[in-house]
Amino acid sequence: MLARKIKKHIYWMGSVDWDSRLFDSLIPLPDGTSYNAYLIEGSEKTVLLDTVNPPMASELMAQLEGVSKIDYIVSQHAEQDHSGTIPQVLEKYPDAKVISTPKAKGMLIDLLQIPEEFFITVKDGEALSLGDKTLKFIYAPWVHWPETMVTYLEEDKILFSCDFFGSHIATTDLYVTDDSRIYEPAKRYFAEIMMPFRSVIKKNLDKLAPYDIDMIAPGHGQIFPRPAFIMDAYRDWILGPLRNTVVLPYVTMHESTQQMVDHLVSALVEKDVRVKKFNLVVTDIGKLAMALVDAATIVVGTPTVLAGPHPYAVNATFLANALRPKTKFLSIIGSYGWGGKTVETLAGMIPNLKVEVIDPVLCKGVPAESAFKALDDLAATIAQKHKEHDFI
Binding-site ranges for ligand FEO (CB under 6 A): 77, 79, 81-82, 144, 163, 219-220
Find, among 154, 142, 158, the residue nearest to 202 by Cα.
Answer: 142
Q: What angle, rounded to 10 degrees, do the helices at 285-292 and 179-189 form? A: 90
Identify the helix (H) or strand (E) that includes residue 231: helix 227-239
DSSP H stretches of helix in 9-69: 57-63
For residues 346-374, one letter each, b for 16 or more C-beta atoms within 10 angstroms of the residue's C-beta and e for the rest, the string is beebbeebebeebebbbbeeebeeebbeb
**Are 15 and 56 a contacting pair, CB within 8 Å?**
yes
The CB-of-33 to ligand FEO minimum distance in angstroms stands at 8
Residues 6+ apart with CB under 8 A from 321: 349, 350, 351, 352, 353
Nearer to ligand FEO, 28 or 337 (CB): 28
Nearer to ligand FEO, 194 or 295 (CB): 194
CA 296 to CA 294: how far, in whole Å?
6
The CB-of-263 to ligand FEO minimum distance in angstroms stands at 41
Find, among 174, 252, 232, the residue nearest to 3 by Cα.
Answer: 174
Which residue of this chain has its Cβ atom nearest to ligand FEO in the complex? Answer: 79
Nearer to ligand FEO, 14 or 249 (CB): 14
Nearer to ligand FEO, 34 or 304 (CB): 34
Nearer to ligand FEO, 144 or 326 (CB): 144
SS in 3 state form for 141-196? CCCCCCCCEEEEECCCCEEEEECCCCCCCCCCCCECCCHHHHHHHHHHHHHHHHHH
The CB-of-164 to ligand FEO minimum distance in angstroms stands at 10
The CB-of-145 to ligand FEO minimum distance in angstroms stands at 6
CA 258 to CA 367: how far, in whole Å?
10
The CB-of-169 to ligand FEO minimum distance in angstroms stands at 13
Nearer to ligand FEO, 14 or 367 (CB): 14
Nearer to ligand FEO, 79 or 376 (CB): 79
The CB-of-113 to ligand FEO minimum distance in angstroms stands at 19
The CB-of-111 to ligand FEO minimum distance in angstroms stands at 12
Beta bridge partners of 216: 159, 224
Q: What angle, rounded to 10 degrees, do the helices at 311-323 and 285-292 form? A: 40
The CB-of-163 to ligand FEO minimum distance in angstroms stands at 4
Nearer to ligand FEO, 148 or 327 (CB): 148
The CB-of-162 to ligand FEO minimum distance in angstroms stands at 7
As a whole number of Å, the end-to-end CA separation of the chain is 44
Nearer to ligand FEO, 86 or 314 (CB): 86
